[in-house]
Amino acid sequence: MLTIERPAELNFDTFPPEVQRFRDRVREYARKVVAPRALELDQEAHDHFAWDVVHQGHRLGLTRAVLPKEFGGMGVGLVGVTLAMEELAAACPGVALVFGATMLAQGPILLSGDPQLQARFLPLFGGDDAILACNAICDQEAGLDLVVPQNVRHAYGMTTIRRDGDEYVLNGHKRVITNATVANFASVFGTMEGVRPDEGLTCLIVPLDSPGVTRGPVADKMGYRACLGGELLFEDVRVPAENVVGGEGDGLSILVAQGNMARPSVAAISTGVARHALETAIEFCGQRVQGGALLREHQMTARKLAEMTAKVDAARLLYLRAADKVDNSLPPPEYEPAVAKLFADQVAIEVAGDAVGLLGSRGFIREYGLEKVLRDSYGARIYEGTPEALALAITDCLYRTDDEEGDDDDDR
Amino acid sequence: MTTTTARHEAPEERVGSPATARYVHDLARLHGSLRYGGLEDAILGAPLARIDGLGDGLTTLSFWEWQLPERYMLAILGFRLAQFLQTGLMDRELAHRLALFHEPLPAPARGVGTVHTVTLTGDGRIVGYLGLVGSPDPEPLPLDSPVRLGLPVEVAHRVDLLSEYAAPDRTTHNAFEIKRFVRDHQLPRGEQRNRVPWHLMLACLKVGVALDEIQVIVGDAGERGALRHLRLVGFDLKVVEGTTPWLPRSELMWISYELPVEKRAKPFAALVPANLPELAAMLETMVAGGGAGWRQAVVSSLGGPARMRG
């Protein structure tokens, strides 16, 4: 059975100075640059992309936040990244995900431990102009099967990879890939031809200007409209053999570790969405008079506000615990990130819904902005693991025996 | 100084394995794609020299190493690595094996420090570089001191370039080595490409004007490269022939000393000319002149006095 130990020396009230400074700078950017544009970006055409906003975030280090300092990174760890994601998402989660998806694509390169692969791709983010990346997992048919490790063997219709001399040849069709339209390169997961996916899953780093790569249409999404979810088609794309992450068949372990690293950030995005809704509700209920009293003085409303704030606080503590664990564990843990994401995603939906209810018609009318928050709140329920997938991961941890933990370690 | 304007083709046998060749190609592409439009604003304090507005779309900046944040320092070191790997003057296999994406960061300066000069295009692409490396002696010593530390060129060529310039008011902190004079290999042929070395040279003169502690310069260079440029702008160079330079194979540049003798860089030394401010002003006027004849004007105007001295 899983033993949940009380973490020692955790203090989530103060952070290392460089983390604090990074969060403060991102907060200012979120409030002064992103928030004033959030509604406009939401209502633009579905394939509109605000490079100017992204360039400004890049200059703060948001595309290299997770990179080590030797690559020009910020060296703020996942704790710093999650704090930044909450700040961004409180302004616009779509903008947060532009940077989050880039970090996600950097994950396999970092996890590879391959200094030559790192040298060829990570310095890209050190320039003054924003460079973005994307992580291409979902195929036309294989979606959630690739998120639940025990289901990977059932995945079908996947992108295929074939070795040909010093190159790999890639064929497939990826869909709903954040940043596909604007990325410089993609971390692409596919399976070796003729090999079962759980044994053949392989990750390649693919420059998206390679011959045979086509960027497909952008999905017209319900929320997160500031980031673009597009398709990628690979037709006999030839990729140098040294672009493989780890080796052939190492994709599943990379994918699991990458997911565990990413989930605290997604939980932080959901927390930011919920915080936006909460702050809007607090402001409104502190000014709006009904029945001769401020809304916040009505017991039903006070109870609702209290529960909303408790949920946001709890979501934040859970993502910080998970991020702290990821920063200090190798391989990254499975349990804490999954719990943080499961909880925060649900909190975003609940708090956004409650806030819309408290604002009444103002919550229902687009120009007030809360309607966007409600739509956005459903986004993280879908990407990087649905509640159903997370439940399987969490429950698996609950029933995992010490022997199995040991086996895992041996395998690694 | 191993000087190059990136024209030298590396011997075929030094191209390396296909994976190394792809690595070099990828690094060149990577660094060629990066832009550093914010570099000037990132310099702490005022640059030592700044050349802009000459109508060629280039900006050249000189600054002490301590004036530049590390991210931009990595950019410069990355540019240098990518350029010298392309020219074949650095060991490609070693760089590949070490997974370098920039030249190694220099150790914290014990002595005088380094002045970097970079030329940037209007969109922030680095297209030229020149370094002036100060003495590693923590404290100033006479130029003929037996315990002074050698400048890199003296170590590589096993030659003493400074003793003969010893003077009562001149120390090792007055001697600087010109290093890594390089123009972007990928810059298309044309006016901008022609002007990069002159931007660098002009900035170098301006640094000399700004820092009167620079009294002696040394380096190593090819006859058709920086030696020619330095002579043209008025340096009375003493070139040492017949050295047998050598660097350990753990050094990236060792390979540059294995070139055929006629292509090998020669060590040199020179006193900084007393009329440096006039030379700098003259060069600036000519480079600013633009038009098709500016290069000829530089050569004829500066070359005359140089020939008379010679």
Q: Tokens 């088609």 identify what position?
A: A233
Mean pLDDT of chain B: 88
* From A208-212, A343-347, B12-16, B155-159, the region with the lowest mean pLDDT: B12-16
Residues B133 and B152: beta-carbon distance below 8 Å? yes
Mutate to test the interface with A, among B26, B36, B77 (most CBs of A within 10 A): B26
Q: Which two tokens stand for residue A88?
A: 């961004």
Nearest chain A residue to B27, by CA:
A120
**pTM of the model as a whole:** 0.89
Any chain A CB within 8 A of the CB of B24? no
SS3 letters across A289-304: EECCEEHHHCHHHHHH
Contact at 8 Å (CB) between B184 and B177? no
Helix (H) or strand (E) holding A286: none
Confidence class for position B11, pLDDT limits 50, 70, 90:
very low
Alpha carbon of B104: minimum distance to chain A alpha carbons (Å) = 11
Residues of A in contact with B71 (CB under 8 A): 72, 126
Distance of alpha carbon B171 from alpha carbon B211, whole angstroms: 15
The alpha carbon of A188 is separated from its chain's Cα centroid by a whole number of angstroms, namely 16
pLDDT at B6 over 60: no
Q: Which of A120, A126, A129 sits opposite B26 (nearest CB)?
A: A120
Q: What are phi and psi of A212, to 5 degrees?
A: 100, -10
At B2 the pLDDT is 45
Q: Does B73 touch chain A (CB under 8 A)?
A: no
Distance CA B212, CA B195 (A): 26
Three-state SS at A339: helix
Contact by Cβ (8 Å): A19, A79: yes
Among residues B22, B17, B25, the alpha carbon closest in space to that of B186 is found at: B25
Nearest to A129 among B31, B35, B101 (CB): B35
Mean pLDDT for the stretch of residues B4-31: 72
A18 contact residues in B (CB cutoff 8 A): none
Which residues in chain A touch residue B82, judged by CB atoms under 8 angstroms apart?
none
Contact B99 A128 (CB under 8 A): no
- The upper half-sphere exposure of residue B53, i.e. CA atoms within 13 Å in the direction of its Cβ, equals 2
Is A388 part of the annotated catalytic residue set? no
Instruction: Inspect the interface and report whether the beta carbons of B74 and A123 lie closer than 8 Å.
Output: yes
Residue A50 CA to residue B290 CA, distance in Å, equals 39
Give the distance from residue B257's alpha carbon to the nearest chain A alpha carbon, in angstroms: 26
Q: What is the pLDDT of residue A322?
A: 97
Contact B152, B162 (CB under 8 A): no
B67, B45 Cβ separation under 8 angstroms: yes
A129–B34 CB contact, under 8 Å = yes
Asked if the model's pLDDT at residue B298 lies above 90, the reply is no
3-class secondary structure per residue, B133-193: EECCCCCCCECCCCCCCCCHHHHHHCCCCCHHHCECCEEHHHEEEEEEEEECCCCCCCHHH
- How far apart CA B62 and CA B77 sit, in angstroms, is 15
Mutate to test the interface with B, among A51, A120, A184 (most CBs of B within 10 A): A120
B42 touches chain A (CB under 8 A): no
Closest C-alpha among A92, A84, A44, A50 to residue A66: A84
Asked if A4 and A58 count as a contact pair (C-beta separation under 8 A), the reply is no
**Torsion, Cα of A63, A69, A71, A76 (10° steps):** -20
Q: How many Å apart are CA A304 and CA B272, to the nearest integer?
A: 78
> Which candidate, A348, A335, A202, places its Cα nearest to that of A275?
A348
- Reported as a pLDDT band with limits 50, 70 and 90, residue B107 is confident
What is the average pLDDT across B37-58?
A: 94
Cβ within 8 Å, pair A120-B30: yes
Q: Which chain B residues are closer than 8 Å to A115 by Cβ? A: 98-99
For this complex, say whether ipTM is above 0.85.
no
A129 in contact with B, Cβ within 8 Å: yes
Cα distances from A11 to residues A26, A262, B194, in angstroms, run 21, 22, 59
Which DSSP symbol is given to A31?
A: I
B window 101-120, beta carbon within 8 A of A: 101-102
Q: Do A124 and B38 touch (CB under 8 A)?
A: no
Chain A partners of B23 at a C-beta cutoff of 8 Å? 116, 119-120, 242
Q: d(Cα B309, Cα A250) in Å, to the nearest integer?
A: 68
The catalytic position among A384, A388, A404, A405 is A384
Phi first, then psi, for residue A326 (nearest 5°) are -65, -40
Q: How far apart are CA B126 and CA B183, in angstroms?
A: 9
Displacement of CA A207 from its chain's centroid (Å): 21
Cβ <8 Å between A126 and B96: no
Instruction: Find, among A120, A23, A121, the residue nearest to A74 by Cα.
Output: A23
A120:B78 CB<8 A: no
Strands A289-290 and A293-294: antiparallel
Contact B112, B171 (CB under 8 A): no
Q: Label residue B10 by pLDDT band (50, 70, 90).
A: very low
Banded pLDDT at B204 (limits 50, 70, 90): very high
- pLDDT recorded at residue B305: 55
pLDDT in tens, chain A (412 residues): 455 555 556 678 889 999 999 999 999 999 999 999 999 999 999 999 999 999 999 999 999 999 998 898 998 999 999 999 999 999 999 999 999 999 999 999 999 999 999 999 999 999 999 999 999 999 988 877 888 888 888 888 899 999 999 999 999 999 999 999 999 999 999 999 999 999 999 999 999 999 999 999 999 999 999 999 999 999 999 999 999 999 999 999 999 999 999 999 999 999 999 999 999 999 999 999 999 999 999 999 999 999 999 999 999 999 999 999 999 988 889 999 999 999 999 999 999 999 999 999 999 999 999 999 999 999 999 998 899 999 999 999 999 876 666 554 444 3
Amino acid at B224: R
- The pLDDT assigned to B259 comes to 82
CB contact under 8 A, B78 and A123: yes
- Establish if B46 touches chain A: CB-CB under 8 angstroms: no
Is the CB of residue B33 less than 8 Å away from at least one CB of chain A? yes
Question: Residue A223 and residue A374: Cα distance in Å, rounded?
Answer: 9
Examine the pLDDT at B303 and tell me if it is beyond 70. no
A116, A132, A166, A239: which to substitute to probe chain B, counting the most B Cβ within 10 Å? Answer: A116
Q: What is the pLDDT, as a whole number, of residue A147? A: 81
- Residue of B19, B38, B71 with shortest CB distance to A72: B71
Contact (Cβ atoms closer than 8 angstroms) between residue A307 and residue A357: no
B163, B142 Cβ separation under 8 angstroms: no
Nearest to A123 by CA among A184, A181, A206: A184
pLDDT of residue B15: 62
Cβ-Cβ contacts under 8 Å for A303 (sequence gap 6 or more): none
B33–A124 CB contact, under 8 Å: yes
Q: Do A124 and B96 touch (CB under 8 A)?
A: no
Residue in A346, A364, A367 with CA at minimum distance from that of residue A356: A364
Q: Is B8 on the interface with A (CB under 8 A)?
A: no
CA of residue A105 relative to chain centroid, distance? 10
Question: What is chain A's length?
Answer: 412
Alpha-carbon radius of gyration of chain B = 18
CA distance B194 to chain A (A): 25
Contacts of A85 (CB under 8 A, 6+ apart): A96, A99, A100, A265, A268, A269, A272
Residue A353 contacts B where some CB pair is shorter than 8 Å: no
CB pairs under 8 A between A and B: 62
Q: Please identify which residue in the block is written with the tokens 């090999």.
A: A195
DSSP for A60-110, please give it. HTTTSTTS-GGGT----HHHHHHHHHHHHHHH-HHHHHHHHHHHHHHHHHH
